[in-house]
A and B are shown apart, each in its own frame.
Chain A
Amino acid sequence: MKSLEELQAIRDKARRGVSLRGQNDNAVRVLVGMATCGIAAGARPVLNAIVEEVAKRNLQNVIVTQTGCIGICQFEPVVEVVSPQGEKVTYVKMTPEKALRVVNDHLVNGNVVTEYTIGANSN
């Protein structure tokens, strides 16, 4: 059985400085469109894949969050990656598999996955 004591243990571990994700301004933000259009197109498994992979790799400088409809519903599920400098890359028609590649190539190694971007898919 999971108990609240386990959470207290996590807190105590954090207190000892073993692991704690610091709040920082240098984080890369990953925005997943979760309005009706995004959800209906399959955004939840995409978001789930990103959250799980970021947790698994213990990426410290990544904030994953939801966003609303950005107006390009025909391209959903849409994932935007925003660098700390504010540069934005928009990935379209995402799947959980594509999302994993974005985490690994883009977030971890800094290489934009050009073939999934809106620029490569808008024809």
Chain B
Amino acid sequence: MQELSLNVMDIAQNSISAGATLVEISVKEDSATGEMAIVIRDNGRGMTAEQAASVTDPFYTTRTTRKVGLGVPLFKMEAEMTGGSFRIDSKPGTGTTVTAKFVTSHVDMIPLGDIDATIRLLIACNPNLDFVYCRRKNERGFTLDTRELRNALGGEVPLDSPEVQVWIEEYLAEQTQMIKEETSV
């Protein structure tokens, strides 16, 4: 993958396939520790301990179209090759949490990339699911919670309507810019 944000999209897709109604994505960077943590948590059907242990094996997949499943192993490899860590916590009936930690200064660190596009598209293509996106860099951060948007829209306008999409795009761009400005000071 060229960007970690593409992995986020990929892993979130697993949550959607697992029947999640709420997917929480958080990206937190801390310059002091030189660490970036990406967490994807869902309330989907979850996995048994045995399944959770096997998903990092490229030759394990629940898919029937072919015999390999590369999404989780790739994400794990990308974290570990920076000297970071990777873990999956899952419980049947409760959901799954994927946590990947990266050492941002490492030469093998893959850029986060256009995470806003990932979030925007996940919402646009799954207007009936809820997403919480939490972005933090050092002291600054913001949260986008589709449940709040839904509430403001009074359940009358779908999240994938063009006007709402534009609002989400501009909101993410504005908030992301504010985090960057803080960092460059």
Contacts and interface: CB of A to CB of B under 8 A. Distances in A.
B163 interface: yes
A21 interface: yes
A35 interface: yes
Nearest to B72: A36
A10 B13 contact: no
Given A7-B149, A14-B157, A66 B125 contact: yes
Contact of B157 (A20, A55, A64, A70): A20
Contacts, number: 107
Interface in B73-93: 74
A98 interface: no
Contact of A4 (B126, B149, B163): B149
A22 to B, nearest CB: 10
A35 B65 CA distance: 12
Given A44-B117, A70-B65, A73-B66, A21 B149 contact: no
Interface string A5-45: 11110110111000111010000000010111101100010
B162 A55 contact: yes
B13 A11 contact: no
B170 interface: yes
A4 B148 contact: yes
B163 A69 contact: no
Contacts of A69: 63, 65-66
Interface string B116-157: 011011001110000000000000000000001100111011
Interface footprint category on B = 35 or more
- Secondary structure type dominating chain A contacts: helix
A47 interface: yes
Contacts of B184: none
A1 interface: yes
A121 interface: no
Closest 7 CB pairs of A and B: A71-B65, A55-B162, A7-B152, A36-B71, A2-B171, A4-B152, A66-B125
Interface of B: 1, 6, 9-10, 13, 16-17, 63, 65-66, 69-71, 74, 114, 117-118, 120-121, 124-126, 148-149, 152-154, 156-158, 160-167, 170-171, 174
25 contacts: A1-B174, A2-B167, A2-B171, A7-B164, A7-B167, A11-B153, A11-B154, A11-B157, A21-B162, A36-B74, A39-B6, A40-B6, A44-B9, A47-B121, A51-B124, A51-B125, A51-B165, A55-B162, A55-B165, A66-B121, A66-B125, A66-B126, A68-B63, A69-B63, A71-B66
